[in-house]
A = this chain, B = another copy of it.
Amino acid sequence: MSRFEGRSGPIRLGMVGGGQGALIGSVHRVAARLDGDYALVAGALSASPERAQASGVDAGLAADRIYDDFTAMAQREARLKDGIEAVAIVTPNHLHLPVAREFLKRGIHVICDKPLTGTLADAKKLQAAAEKSEALFVLTHTYSGYPMVREAQARVASGELGDIRLVQVEYAQDWLAEAPAPDNKQAAWRTDPARSGVGGAIADIGTHAWHLARFITGLQPEALAADLQSFVPGRTLDDNAHVMMRFAGGARGMLWSSQVAAGQENALRIRVYGTRAGLEWEQEHPNQLSITPLGGARCVITPGLAGNTDASARLVRVPAGHPEGYFEAFANLYREAASAIRAHRTGAALPEGVVFPSVADGVEGVAFVEACVRSSARDAKWVTL
C-alpha cells in the first residue's frame, strides 16, 4: 500500500539542486511542466541560503517550501499532508547518493539525473537504498525518451535487424575543448574528481552513449578495452575516450566519447548492424530513424507513420513533421515516471509499455565508467564487466 494512496491531480514534486545559473535543473522543470503531470511545490535549489531563497522565488515556490538543506526538506516534506510525492535530484554527481537516500528512506520517489553517482561504490549503496525503499527510482537518461529511440529498440527486439553483430556509438561535444572560464559552473564540477567522480566525459556523456547502446540492442556486455585521454592541459579527468567492446554472443562495438571534438555540439549517434539490416539514429536529428535492409534502400522512419510500433506511437504528441526535440524526450521520461507513480499509488502494475531507466541501469553505467578507467590505466587491457 502506498503512502500516497488517494492522491490525485498533478504529482507534487520537489527539487534538490538546480538553482540560479544551473542548466539541468531548468531542463527538469520544463520537462516536468510540459505535460501537466507535475506541480513543483518544494525545493532545496542550492546549499547557499541566499541562492536557495532567490532560486525558490524564481521557481514560484511558496516561502515555506523553500529549503537550503535537503535533509531538512526530506524530513519536513515527508510529514506534510500535501508534501511532495517525488523529488528531482539535479545536483553534481557526488551528491546523488546522500540526497537520494534521504528521500528514498521516507518513501518519496526519486527522479535523478545521470550518471547515478561518481563512483561504483556509491552506486551500489544507492542501489541498495533504492531496493530497500518502496519508492520508485528513475534515472534520466534523456535520450531513451526519444520516440525514434523507442522505435529502434522495438525493431531490434522484433528481429528486423536479425542477429546483432556490431554497435557503433559515439557522443561528441566540444564545449570543453579549451580550459573553461573560471565562472563556468557546469564545467567546474564536471572536471573536478571530487564532484564528478572517477570519470570526466566518459561519465558525463559516455554513460549516455553506453546506455543508448544497451537500451536499443539489449546486448549483454562482456568486456571492454579503453584508451582515455585528457587533452586540455591541467585537466585531471578524461575529456576523450576510445573504447572497444565485446558483447555476449559475439557482437562487438566501438564507443567514442569526447568533449574536445571541435565543431561538434551534442552529437550523440548510434549505428547498429545485424545480419539482416542496419539502423542509424542521431540526437541532433532525433525525428529520423534510418533502417537499411541488407541490399535494400535506406528508409527513414519518422514519428507518426502508420507502420510504426506502439513503442514510439505512444510518446508522440503532434502529427508527423512537427519536430519534437530534447525537452519532449526529457518530458517523456517524466511522463513515464508519472504513469509509474500513479500506478504506485494504488499498487497497480506498471501500465503496458511504460519504460524508464532504473537504478540498475545507473549502476551499470557507473560500472562502465570504472571499467573504462581501469582498462585505460592498464594500457587498454580488456576488462570484464
| A321 contacts chain B at the CB level, 8 A cutoff | yes
Chain A, 324-347, CB within 8 A of any chain B CB: 324-328
Q: Which of B231, B261, B298 contacts A300 (CB 8 A)?
A: B298
**Interface stretch of the complex, out of A13-21, A112-120, A168-176, A207-215:** A168-176
A1-33 contact mask (Cβ, 8 Å, vs B): 1 or 0: 000000001100000000000010011011001
Interface residues of A (CB under 8 A from B): 9-10, 23, 26-27, 29-30, 33-36, 60, 161-162, 165-166, 168, 170, 173-175, 177-178, 225, 227, 229, 231, 240, 242, 244, 246, 250, 252-254, 256, 258, 260-267, 271, 273-279, 283-287, 291-302, 304-307, 317-328, 379-380, 382
Is A262 a contact partner of B274 (Cβ separation < 8 A)? yes
Is B265 a contact partner of A321 (Cβ separation < 8 A)? yes
* Residues of chain B with a CB closer than 8 A to A273's CB: 174, 258, 260-264
Report if A293-B263 is in contact (Cβ < 8 Å); known contacts: A23-B319, A225-B227, A299-B300: yes
Is A294 a contact partner of B263 (Cβ separation < 8 A)? yes
List of 10 A-B pairs having minimum Cβ-Cβ separation, nearest first: A266-B321, A265-B321, A263-B292, A263-B278, A323-B325, A325-B325, A322-B326, A265-B320, A299-B299, A262-B278
Among A279, A323, A326: residue with most chain B CB under 10 A: A323
A29 to B33, CA, bound (A): 11
Report if A244-B300 is in contact (Cβ < 8 Å); known contacts: A168-B256, A285-B285, A323-B326: no
Is B319 a contact partner of A278 (Cβ separation < 8 A)? no
A74 to B32, CA, bound (A): 31
